[in-house]
Amino acid sequence: MDFDDDDKPKEVTKTRRFAPGRAGKSKPKPKPEPTADKPVQPPPQSQTESVSKTEHDVDAKFVGTKVETEVCNGSVKMEIDSKVDKEPEIMETELMEEDQQLPLQEEKEEEEEEDDVVVREIDVFFKPSIDANTQLYVLQYPLRPSWRPYEMDERCEEVRVNPSTSQVEIDLSMDVHSKNYDSNFGLNMTKQTLKTTWKQPPTLDYAVGVLSGDKLHLNPVHAVAQLRPSMQSLSSDKKKKQEESTEESVGTSKKQNKGVQQASTDQKPINEETWVSLKYHGLQSEYCSRYLNGMMANGNSSIDFNMSPGTYINELCRGGSSRNSESKETLKRVLLSLPLKERVQKLLCEGSPLIRYSVLKHYAPEFSDEDFLGALQEYGRLVQGLWTPKTRLLKLDGPVEAARDYVLSLFSQNTTIKYSEVEATGDKMKPLMERMLTEFAKERHVLKDWKFKEPTDVSFIKSYPEIVKEQDIFWTDKRENLKSRITAQGGKSRADKRRNVVGTSSSVTVKPEVPTTLSDKGGSSKNTIHRVVTQEMPEELKKALPKALKKVFQTHKVCRYETICQGLRDLAVSTSNNPKADSGMAVNVALAVDAYQGELEDVINGVATNIHGSYVSISSPDHPEYDSLREVVISLLTGSPPGTKLMKAEVFAAGRTKLEREITNNEYIKVMHEICETNSSGWVLQKAR
């Protein structure tokens, strides 16, 4: 077909008139961005090679250049069309650039919108106390949901507070005309009492905030009291029924009377003279508004926020005088002027009792770590990664020196010291031990122990393991040597005195002056249980102990002696709150932990096996049908060193020899999972709690 004769004039005319539309349709392919902005001139040889190339090849190679329309071997060049074709290309390029700029602008606007904006500024004020005679309590009602509170304004009759123990009691009136009230029940209850059932922990880190405008006033809380309905009326009715039934049987009257007397003393262990009666005032009363205003601090803050960080902390905490910063700077200058050894000795003896290595090194920046550690080991001891001066540098008395070293040796082994460890030192050494403990630890009444006051310096322990190992060896030897020395200086412990008193006569019953509660041993009971010590364990108690131990081992499959004792106490606490259970026997079992320690160990050894300090029940509480294989596994663990792995083939071989039968995989898995745990394709004894 010849394009020169037929279509040449028509194509030129249409292209001139409809150039933008035709140009857009003739090039459906998108043009690459890099070549769109910079026109590239074709090389000289492109004209000679254009004959052999197709039209698509030319378009692909010279995209974005001057368009040449080839007709019949490229003899016709339409320059007007090429100029017109440039216009849509430029327009497309500009549109693409504008489209690229729009997302960037939107992203910038979104980033500006996402920036934090200060919505409100609130000043914080601290009010130490409302007045000298006012204490702030937080009352909680765990058994009542928030949507069903007690009608305090209508029902509250009297409030009683015990300032010494922070216990609270509230008397609420009852609606005797309600259809839910049974007047023929026999108790004729006209009020309901809410009371605290356990000793509240200290609440030194809690505060109540009052927001007034843009000012938040913080008031420290004295105590948090959890109030629950008291069952004292039911207990008193039960007491009357027991007294009436005891008159019929003379033989059992003494035991029941003792139990009743003990229950009455358990429920009211606190002297009634310490209770203070208060009158309740509602939220809308004038008294409430007056005290609410008293919880707001008067005046503005006098802190200058342009001061240094150290001065700001001193002003905020009010813990020291304004001379502290000056004295610290002076002390630092004096320390830097001293030789290394004198500097280290002064830092340890006159500074904090426990100092981190980074703090000590701050006062000796010119010395290397090797030189500084050499001087530090000469005058200090390492405890939990922190340094303390050697006891001989403090020039203490003999018993006080022994108490300090013993406390540090115990803390080098563990971060907590139990009350029992302190009492084991004897009556003479116990005050000295407590004196040293107040210096290095914080007493936790709820957990009945002393907690090391400083966190362990893990970074130093990881950086200098050799020094840590040397110090651990020293404290281990020191602890063993101090045990006999402290026992000699402190005299006999309370347990030894009880044994001596009991041994004089079989009919003597000893009661300590201070009653011991279950919560003192880690439980959480409201009852007070006196320790009763006799010469021999009663037969009833010997029969009840195995049953209680079975329940303990059902919870703890592998445990130590301390865990067994604690489990017996917890069992007594849970049983005493269950009216259907024999709480009296459970309490006696808990008393046996302290009163009959020697015989208790014999009973434990009768129902459990001691495997390298860990006790395992001889009979399985869950699968007693596999006790024969359990005995085989226990014998293998007992006869092997601690940490020995038991392989499956070894257990099967021992079972085949002793039981004279083949062991099934089912009983093997159940027995091993009860007392062992997997370790590298083997079985080892579970870690004792």
**Mean pLDDT across the stretch 418-425?**
86
- Measured from the Cβ of residue 384, the count of other Cβ atoms closer than 10 Å reads 22
pLDDT at 553 over 70: yes
* Position 512 confidence tier, pLDDT thresholds 50, 70, 90: very low
Count the residues in the chain: 689
pLDDT digits (tens, 9 = 90+) for 192-204: 899 887 766 655 6
Question: pLDDT confidence of 80, banded at 50, 70, 90?
Answer: very low
Residue 510 has pLDDT above 50, yes or no: no
* Residue 358: predicted pLDDT: 87
- In 3D, which of 472, 481, 484 has the Cα closest to residue 381? 472
pTM: 0.33
Poorest-confidence range of 18-32, 36-50, 507-521, 551-565? 507-521
Domains parsed from the chain with CATH numbers: 3-109 (no CATH), 124-231+272-294 (no CATH), 302-337 (no CATH), 339-490 (no CATH), 492-618 (no CATH), 622-689 (1.10.10)
Burial class (CB in 10 A: 0-12, 13-18, 19+), 610: middle
pLDDT at 483: 76
HEC sequence for 329-375: HHHHHHHHCCCHHHHHHHHHHHCCCCECHHHHHHCCCCCCHHHHHHH
Joined together, the tokens standing for residue 138 give 């937080």
Give 63's pLDDT tier (boundaries 50, 70, 90).
very low
Of these ranges, 75-84, 423-432, 574-583, the one predicted with the greatest mean pLDDT is: 423-432
Taking all residues of the chain, what is their mean pLDDT, rounded to a whole number? 72
Are 207 and 220 a contacting pair, CB within 8 Å? yes
Indicate the SS3 state at residue 189: coil
Closest CA to 531 of 519, 544, 518: 518
Residue 681: pLDDT band with limits 50, 70, 90: confident
End-to-end distance of the chain based on CA atoms, in angstroms? 100
Query: Cα angle vertex 250, ends 249, 255, to 5°?
Result: 95
Q: How many CB atoms within 10 Å of residue 246?
A: 18
What pLDDT is attached to residue 322? 45
For range 284-300, the mean pLDDT: 81
Residue 264: band (very low, low, confident or very high) from pLDDT cuts 50, 70, 90: very low
Quick check: 125 and 218 in contact, CB under 8 A?
A: yes
Residue 81 has pLDDT above 50, yes or no: no
pLDDT at 273: 57
Instruction: Work out the percent of the chain whose per-residue pLDDT is above 90.
Output: 4
Distances (CA, A) of 568 to 125, 423, 547: 49, 21, 11
Per-residue model confidence as pLDDT tens digits over 461-474: 888 989 998 898 88
Mean pLDDT for the stretch of residues 337-358: 86
Confidence grade of residue 35 (pLDDT, cut at 50, 70, 90) = very low
Q: Band the pLDDT of 605: cuts 50, 70, 90.
A: confident
What pLDDT band is residue 236 in, cutting at 50, 70 and 90? Answer: low
**Predicted pLDDT of residue 279:** 87
Phi, psi of 533, deg, nearest 5: -115, 125
Phi and psi dihedrals of 610, rounded to 5? Answer: -90, 110
pLDDT category at 159 given cuts 50, 70, 90 is very high
Q: What is the pLDDT of residue 299?
A: 63
User: Which of 70-79, 438-447, 488-497, 563-572 holds the top average pLDDT?
Assistant: 438-447
The percent of residues above 70 in pLDDT, for the chain, comes to: 61
Contact 481, 448 (CB under 8 A): no
Given a cut of 80, whether residue 115 has pLDDT beyond it is: no
Mean predicted confidence (pLDDT) in 495-513 = 40
Question: How many whole angstroms separate alpha carbon 676 and alpha carbon 558?
Answer: 9
Evaluate if residue 285 carries a pLDDT over 60: yes
96 burial (CB, 10 Å; 0-12 / 13-18 / 19+) is middle
- What integer pLDDT is reported at residue 170 of this predicted model? 92
pLDDT at 7 over 80: no
Torsion over CA of 396, 397, 403 and 408, rounded to 10 degrees? 20
The pLDDT tens digits for 563-596 are: 888 888 787 777 766 655 665 666 677 767 766 7
Q: How far apart are CA 114 and CA 96, in angstroms?
A: 28
Greater model confidence, 290 or 598: 290
448 pLDDT band (50/70/90 cuts)? confident
pLDDT at position 270: 46
